[in-house]
Amino acid sequence: MVTFIIRRLIGTVFILLLVAAITFAIFFLLPRLAGETAYGLATQYVGRNPTPAAVHQMEQTLGFNEPLYVQFGRYIKAIVAGEHYQGQWCGPPCLGYSFKNQQPVWPQMISDVPVTLSIAIGAAVLWLIGGVTIGVISALKRGTIFDRLSMSVALAGVSLPVFFTGLIALELFSYKWPIFPNVQYVAITQNPYLWAKNLVLPWIVLAFLYAALYARLTRAGMLETLNEDYIRTARAKGLRERTVIIKHALRAALTPIVTIFGLDLGLLLGGAILTEVTFSMHGLGLFTVEAINNQDFPEIMGVTLLAAFFIIIANLIVDILYSVLDPRVRY
């Protein structure tokens, strides 16, 4: 098990290198292949109507004249060891400087992580509890009104985008009936009550989308497990129905849910883009959107790497959890 984790962590480094290389190639190699010159590339970074001297200056600063592998090597080296840049020290992990404000990318990006983390974790707890509960009840009451109603609502949940349900929620609960007025992110260290209160709407809106999916998955899983022979055995033992359902059926039905949960959460930690935009909360999602709008390549590179890191770690945790959940899985 320990060897497995160590092996996977080493693998993680290689995957991140690969992701970095691909992202780097997309932004710096592809334009070259398309015939763009170093001068032309540099032009994009110096604002409107630049003087040739300024462009050359930028070309030098960014090292566009050097071979690409040197540029890439310098990029990776900065991440590991940090670097000096125009008299400033950028400590590791140094992901370069934002074109927008000439500030290091990492501190700006990392300051947005708590926002995304707050939204994602809170919503995840909600959708996991809500989705699984509804799914189990639906499976047990298969074919009843509850089942049909909750599955229809679930279908709606899957189909409606967050910016739609989010705006409706804001209109109703923030403006018409101001239960949650003035929704904005407040740090938990600053005011835990306001933090939670302002996050209620984003949590519910985001959880609605995922809970729907999870309810359907849980329902299908439960219906399948309830037909298993070992459920019949559990009943034959004279166990209470509640024990049969929760300890024997749900336990087995949860395994695939855990897999997809890890992936969903990992993906979301890289930025809950639609939710953050809808509720104007500046997390990694908004950070990404702004980086793309500004063509701020160092920022895009940084956020891509961070998102990849989250997904890989989430996958690792899923794999470890799997072997805990299912004793037949051993690494």
Cα–Cα distance for residue pair 92/114, rounded to 1 Å: 20
Q: Which helix (H) or strand (E) holds 88?
A: strand 88-90
Give the tokens for residue 17: 């290198």
In whole angstroms, the minimum distance from the beta carbon of 237 to other proteins comes to 4
What residues line the site for other proteins (CB under 8 A)?
228-230, 232-241, 243, 248, 251-252, 325-328
Nearer to other proteins, 8 or 235 (CB): 235
Peptide bond into 93 cis (omega under 30): yes
Identity of the residue, 148 or 237, whose beta carbon is nearer to other proteins in the bound complex: 237
Comparison of 77 and 251: residue with beta carbon closer to other proteins: 251
Nearer to other proteins, 171 or 326 (CB): 326
Name the residue nearer to other proteins (CB basis): 84 or 240.
240
The tokens 């919503």 sit on which residue? 123
- Shortest spacing between CB 200 and other proteins, in angstroms: 36
Report which DSSP code applies to 182.
S
Q: How far is the CB of 322 from other proteins (least distance, A)?
A: 11
Looking at the Cβ atoms of 226 and 272, the one nearer to other proteins is 226
- What is d(CA 116, CA 192) in angstroms, rounded to the nearest whole number? 16
Whole-number minimum distance, CB 254 to other proteins, in Å? Answer: 10
Reported as type and span, the H/E element at residue 90 is strand 88-90
Contact 173, 201 (CB under 8 A): yes
89 or 230: CB nearest other proteins: 230
Give yes or no for a contact between 273 and 288, defined as CB atoms under 8 angstroms apart.
Answer: yes
Q: How far is the CB of 79 from other proteins (least distance, A)?
A: 42
Least distance (Å) between residue 222 CB and other proteins: 13
CB of residue 242 vs other proteins: minimum separation in angstroms? 11
* Min dist. Cβ of residue 316 to other proteins (A): 21
Find the shortest distance in angstroms from Cβ 327 to other proteins.
5
* DSSP result, 140-167: HTTTSHHHHHHHHHHHHHHHS-HHHHHH
Angle value at C-alpha 224, between 145 and 230, nearest 5 degrees: 120
d(C-alpha 191, C-alpha 41), whole Å: 45
Residue in 276, 228, 216 with CA at minimum distance from that of residue 252:
228
| Nearest residue to 155 via CA among 219, 200, 73 | 219
What is the C-alpha to C-alpha distance for residues 7 and 116, in angstroms, rounded to an integer?
Answer: 29
Q: How many CB atoms lie under 10 A from the CB of residue 100?
A: 14
Nearer to other proteins, 139 or 286 (CB): 139
Closer CB to other proteins, 148 or 251, in the complex: 251
User: Helices 192-226 and 251-269, interaxial angle, to 10°?
Assistant: 140
